[in-house]
Amino acid sequence: MKTNTKPNNDSIKNMNIGWQFDNSYARLSEFFYAQLHPVPVRAPRVAILNHALADSLGLEIRKLSEEEAALLFAGNAVPDMAQPIAQAYAGHQFGHFNMLGDGRAILLGEHLTLIGDRFDIQLKGSGQTPFSRRGDGRAALAPMLREYIISEAMHALNIPTTRSLAVVTTGESVMRETLLPGAILTRVAASHIRIGTFEYAAGLENTEGIKALADYTIGRHYPDLMDAENPYLLLLNRVIERQASLVAKWLLVGFIHGVMNTDNMTISGETIDYGPCAFMDAYDPNTVFSSIDHLGRYRYSNQPRIAQWNLARFAETLLPLIHPVQEKAITLAEEAIHAFPEIYQIHWTAGMRKKLGLFTDETEDIELIETLLAWMHKHRADYTNSFHALASKTLPEDAVFRDAEFVAWHARWQTRLSRQSSSMNMSLCLMRANNPAIIPRNHRVEEALSAASEHGDYLLIHQLLAAVTNPYVDAPEHSDYRIPPAPSERVYQTFCGT
């Protein structure tokens, strides 16, 4: 599938900033994508550039003038050797299957770093595609800045994630509930292959396409499986392992994705799509932020169960490859999927032990952890600050820590720590490395987004980024970012950017 909309590159010659494109996905059948260029925008301007990420990719964006950078990251100028495509995929959205695809995104190509790592470079908000359905193909500034902030915060928290290289404004408005300033985000990912990509081929009963996609995915992300006896079953197992680890990491920092549809779960195990996402303040397992999640399907505590459900949909697409006899294929796939809760629990428990400074495993640890969480829930204690306080040599002078139930729990915890051969200082170091002082709290994110989107003031964006990209540093200049929201500041809903 091809379209001929092509940006005009005549106004920019200096595009050689180190791009090394090798577009392997575009060598698959065009069944999986449509070839087209981004739709040029009227008056692009740089909102924010991620120089640290560019440096890690080997891209010398400092060689570009601001005007050149704006043209590049708006898609008005396409680098040589890029091969722009919109990817096709499907997905279960809140449990309902839909044929989807990149309705407002263009994959420019795959950039190879100097050490051979491969990254997708995608423009999000780059105009209509054959998959746009009734959408305008564009994005508003605030949601693109939100993705930039949250994805960079997640990276700093050592959670696998797509990242953000740039946001540019378009000089055009988009209509959502009101007219909003338009923007385009440049997203960097290990790949954009999703569970929904496999569902797309399966939904069209293209078994040959499923096999081609599976072989490609193994070669790109799991090359050690290529010569295995049953690489497709091992692919399922490996994706289950990565997603179990990923979702455990989310819960350990209080992150709520908000829209865990199968098209938003990557085969690489990266977090993708920062629409109605948020971090929990007061601990409550039933916390929901997404304005469209009316039944709490993707609430904080339900994320592991939804991950398992999504992985079952992935397993279904692989059945023809796992074994030629369907009954045997189903048995093998079910065994893999049923192992998810235990794999997840292992990752989550190991992470919780680190948050509590525990180097060893004891059977009572689960009850110790659950008692603390139950106390936090009962008293609506701040999740991040409570764990960070435990990593201090002395607890803060806070009334909640003088509660009798907490005092009893604290004594049990201290006894548990004393049974380790490791010193208390070693436990504190472990805790400080696993309990962030700062998360991108919703009210501070909204405050910064409002200033940028409504007034063109990016000072709060940069201040917030400086804090959330150093989350384990308890710097005095960032102390305000540790303060939970006042009742009047609480954010109860977050919104999808479409």
Give the active site residues: 263
| 8 pLDDT more than 70 | no
pLDDT digits (tens, 9 = 90+) for 285-297: 999 988 888 888 9
SS3 track for 6-60: CCCCCCCCCCCCCCCECCCHHHCCHHHEEECCCCCCCCCEEEEECHHHHHHHCCC
Q: How confident is the model at residue 6 (pLDDT cuts 50, 70, 90)?
A: low
> Lowest-pLDDT range, 18-22, 157-161, 365-369, 389-393?
389-393
pLDDT digits (tens, 9 = 90+) for 208-254: 999 999 999 999 999 999 999 999 999 999 999 999 999 999 999 99
Domain range summary for the chain, segments of one domain joined by +: 25-195
pLDDT, residue 194, reads 98
pLDDT, residue 14, reads 45
Q: What percent of the chain has pLDDT over 90?
A: 89
Phi, psi of 451 (to 5 degrees): -60, -40
Q: Average pLDDT, stretch 426-437?
A: 97
pLDDT, residue 231, reads 98
Burial 365-383 (b: 16+ CB within 10 A, else e): beebbebbeebbeebebbb
Q: Which one-letter DSSP state was computed for residue 387?
A: H
> Lowest-pLDDT range, 15-19, 227-231, 264-268?
15-19
| 396 pLDDT more than 80 | yes
| Secondary structure element (H or E) that encloses residue 360, with its range | none
Q: Where are the beta strands (DSSP E) in 144-178?
A: 163-175
pLDDT, residue 13, reads 47
pLDDT digits (tens, 9 = 90+) for 55-65: 999 999 999 99
- Taking Cα atoms as reference points, which of 318, 297, 61 lies closest to residue 209? 318
Q: Average pLDDT, stretch 362-373?
A: 97
CA distances from 335 to 42, 116, 191, 327, 328 (A): 54, 36, 27, 12, 11
| 362 pLDDT more than 60 | yes
Q: What percent of the chain has pLDDT over 70?
A: 95
| 166 pLDDT more than 90 | yes
pLDDT digits (tens, 9 = 90+) for 21-42: 999 999 999 999 999 999 999 9
pLDDT, residue 434, reads 98
pLDDT, residue 11, reads 44
